[in-house]
Structure 1
Amino acid sequence: MSMNTITTKDGMQIFYRDWGSGQPIVFHHGWPLSGDDWDNQMLFFLQQGYRVIAHDRRGHGRSTQTTKGNDMDTYASDVAELAAHLDLKNAIHVGHSTGGGEVVRYVAQYGKGRVSKVAIISAIPPVMLKSAANPGGTPIEVFDGYRKALAANRAQFYLDVASGPFYGFNRPGATVLEGMIRNWWRQGMMGSALAHYECIKVFSETDLTDDLRKIDAPILIIHGDDDQVVPIADSAELSIKLVKNGTLKIYQGLPHGMFATHSEIINRDLLAFIQA
């Protein structure tokens, strides 16, 4: 096992973990987390004989807390530099939430000849923000609320998100996992407040419609129908209509962070898709 960094063309350090050998699976984390969010999947797929890779997006986790490049094009460019550095070919890219948007932009712009399959989980595409062209989207006031809460008291805001809608722990009868909440908070507080603040615009306003149309690789789109963060009707159910070779799988009653709360289900279905 190795833990390394690459230096991007604009001088940023991107931290990544690269374990094992075999066909590579690259995991892309959500906002405001780090590659640590994929610990369960990294261990599971390593034991299945895959090479597993997870990086910390710039401004997140252990990567450089940069004041520049906090945008989807740069996120995708960083992934392309990492893929080139590691000489990744025939790779499977798996992204959650904002990481799902990063995967879609990367595969559309840089994936030719390097990517075999794609999976996005509870992901932001096509675009989250409500507009005349996207009437079912989330109003700007919601994202302005995120920005206000982050700027006022980031530590409390992150605790509230992890304790509530992210994992569905605010639902009646939910089994609240304190360790999962603390780990979410730990990852969030490792990163840059500025990068996280600017990433709210990235995940809410980036339009990935054309990127979805460009993807030729098989893509699995999976989403819980009780996702309180990225509502399914304005994400997965629209994305599946835009891709050429896609499969939509909906999980009844599961939350935004279902790959963590229900890892045994998600890992099984990801493995079946990869092996198919």
Structure 2
Amino acid sequence: MSAHLPKESASAAIGVFDSGVGGLSVLRHIRGLLPHENLLYFADSRHAPYGAKSQAYIIDRSREITHFLLAQGAKAIVVACNTATAAAIHALRQEFHIPIIGMEPAVKPAAAATRSGVVGVLATTGTLQSAQFAALLENYGKNIKVETQACVGLVECIERGDLSAGATRALVAQYVIPLMEAGADTIVLGCTHYPFVKPLIAEIAGEEVVLIDTGSAVARQLRHRLQEDGLLSENRLQGTTICWSNSPEKEAQQLIKHLVGEDVVVEVVLDEAGQIEGI
């Protein structure tokens, strides 16, 4: 049964979520393009990563978090996760009658950018095995060679804030070097967590390799949809950012503030007993 939601005013906030802190890389692009919008972010770190979860599980998580963000007054939702977009975007759009913007690995721009004809894709297992990714390869990968790499364990490193640790560097090398050996001159960062280790990826891949993610394209699409629906904020002050996390780690709040790169409010979602909430 569809939820017929009332049209929110332009002054309402934009809701963004991911399976943890990765979607903050997208939120930063949104803030840069839409400085006057108020932003809400939910880090579903307790359930990260989504990459190995079933489609039904991801749909359930995405639906719960969308309900949560709508209860906080969101006028639009950005699913800042490639895996959640592939698994749940259609279900969300059927249920919620507001703008819902998703992600997809940047195969199309990578195909246009490559000089060697070989494109590497770093992503989670869930994204690489999705029908959405198969469709991208069918549409844009016909005249190039696409080398994929499932980056098992890398999301967890980023969730811990280990952005330059030795173990993280070793994982990045393990996943990037085979792409280089296959001749890739363009690498798609097919998970929103990966831009936070972009310096490591660039160091290992070399300066000649082009790294592409879709955060800026998602921000532009969001602006277009809000403008189309008359929902762009008329506020001329700097927008606020409020984040929620269900991570049991004490360092989670500091990590979010560090990754956002601005002064933000970070709240931990707790239940009545003071424990981390199930949402």
Q: TM-score, normalised by structure 2?
A: 0.38
Q: TM-score, normalised by structure 1?
A: 0.39
The structure with the largest alpha-carbon Rg is: 2
- Structure with the bigger RCO (C-alpha within 8 Å, sep 6+) is 2
